[in-house]
Structure 1
């Protein structure tokens, strides 16, 4: 009896810190948000939110932007990751370090860099004015936010792709090559299916990060209507705690649903490739 009880105590001791963190940083805040958003009329509150055209347009714009950032990030990261993982060339380590450097920047800094690149006095605008006679300014629009999100999303996915590429079985590619498969077909039928679990997981994290990113949107917010900015406006400018809490729950639910689907697809992909 003593031998069975001792491991159980250790298991409880090991689970307790994780459980405490879960309760303090997720469960209790979520319960508080639901209580605030309900305001005594839970169904009426969320019915009003989900039928409000402005809020739903903001949610749709956020989802579309996050999806576009995720798709573009995956394409660019696969190309860069394959190159960096399989080719040795002078300055490779320096290039990898530069690609991962944006991970150290907060969203506000990324937004400021987008302004310096594509703002009213930015580099792109100055070059466009010289060569076309018209100043191109897009930092304060969805295009600028897209560029900012892309900037801090690519390093996260590139690192994942490089790790996945290093674990690929080279013999499968050699076998396909010996059977006369073209490079494109090897990429489509061998490399991408092998990378699929890692790409789905990295894409889900990229999507979730873009959905909830605030610092960059706050820095660039002029003509930008994404849900984090809508929540901020309702909370600070309108002092509408009920709406802000409700929209936070909606944003969290959509992000959670995408992560759940990605987790399911990752499991299915792993099972299929096995």
Structure 2
């Protein structure tokens, strides 16, 4: 067997899987989205119709807020965990990354147990203030759920990036009289910028398309995954749900593509 034939034989499983599980379903999705009464113009519904546009704005703002807070928390925790050794460190890292094993529905159920009508926060607030604080089913509960599964993904990327930093640059800055904050601001954070972009893009994309948590919690707020689900299952509006799915996919893909252009291969590594 020639080397060329061997290469094509090795690529055959990849071609079959890519065609069967990506190209054909995506092509079918695009075709169904254009089969509605408005044809290809149905793809503009996500921007033209007020309900869909408001849902898109809610989804983007929620994903952006999740990404920003996740980066702040994960950066502080990741830098500390990577540069300090103490008893129980391995256990703490395992606990912080444990949510990666949970599906979205489980995360949503945990938020309900924490901030639902029978949740821990409601019981404590009722005892202290005489009133239950319930926010599990609002945008705040959904935001908390998104944080729960976003932080573990980002913290691992940040820890890996911190491990690769050149400590000599920080020592040189300190020897020149830079304060600890100046070293972090002028040396460490700029060096971590590609990791921020890569992990932030992954967190944003995950929050944009998260369904399980939204399905459990999003009773008082519309987000795109839930809108697509209701259009498909309750209204049997296949064309609109397909068009919204393509729109959601394009927005998420654009964010990932922009992040990849800024940070190179780090996005792929973060995924």
What is the TM-score when the length of structure 1 is the normalising length?
0.93
Instruction: Give me the whole-angstrom Cα distance separating, in 2, the residues matched to 1:105 and 1:82.
Output: 25
Q: Quick check: 2:232–2:241 contact (8 Å CA) kept in 1?
A: yes
Match of 1:34 in 2: 30
Q: Quick check: 2:45–2:52 contact (8 Å CA) kept in 1?
A: no
Determine helix, strand or coil for the equivalent of 2:219: coil
Q: Quick check: 2:46–2:56 contact (8 Å CA) kept in 1?
A: no
5 Å-filtered alignment, 1:127-206, equals 127-206=124-203
Q: Unpaired segments of 5 or more residues in structure 2?
A: 267-271
Instruction: Give me the whole-angstrom Cα distance separating, in 2, the residues matched to 1:199 and 1:47.
Output: 32
Match of 1:236 in 2: 233
Match of 2:62 in 1: 65
Instruction: Give me the whole-angstrom Cα distance separating, in 2, the residues matched to 1:49 and 1:197.
Output: 31
Q: Quick check: 2:46–2:247 contact (8 Å CA) kept in 1?
A: no
Choose from 15, 33, 36 the match for 2:11.
15
Choose from 85, 88, 94 the match for 1:88.
85
CA RMSD of aligned residues (A): 1.6
Alignment CA distance shift 1:49-1:160 (3 Å): closer
Q: Quick check: 1:49–1:243 contact (8 Å CA) kept in 2?
A: no
Q: 1:221: how far off?
A: 2.5
Q: Quick check: 1:85–1:165 contact (8 Å CA) kept in 2?
A: yes
Does residue 244 of structure 2 align to residue 262 of structure 1?
no
Instruction: Give me the whole-angstrom Cα distance separating, in 2, the residues matched to 1:173 and 1:259.
Output: 31
Q: 1:150: how far off?
A: 0.2
Alignment CA distance shift 1:90-1:109 (3 Å): same
Q: Number of residue pairs matched?
A: 265
Determine helix, strand or coil for the equivalent of 2:264: helix
Q: Quick check: 1:217–1:224 contact (8 Å CA) kept in 2?
A: no
Instruction: Give me the whole-angstrom Cα distance separating, in 1, the residues matched to 2:177 and 2:22.
Output: 53
Match of 1:215 in 2: 212
Alignment CA distance shift 1:48-1:217 (3 Å): closer
Q: Quick check: 1:102–1:155 contact (8 Å CA) kept in 2?
A: yes
Q: Quick check: 2:29–2:246 contact (8 Å CA) kept in 1?
A: yes
Q: Quick check: 1:58–1:226 contact (8 Å CA) kept in 2?
A: yes
Instruction: Give me the whole-angstrom Cα distance separating, in 1, the residues matched to 2:86 and 2:140.
Output: 34
Match of 1:104 in 2: 101
Match of 1:272 in 2: none
Determine helix, strand or coil for the equivalent of 2:181: helix
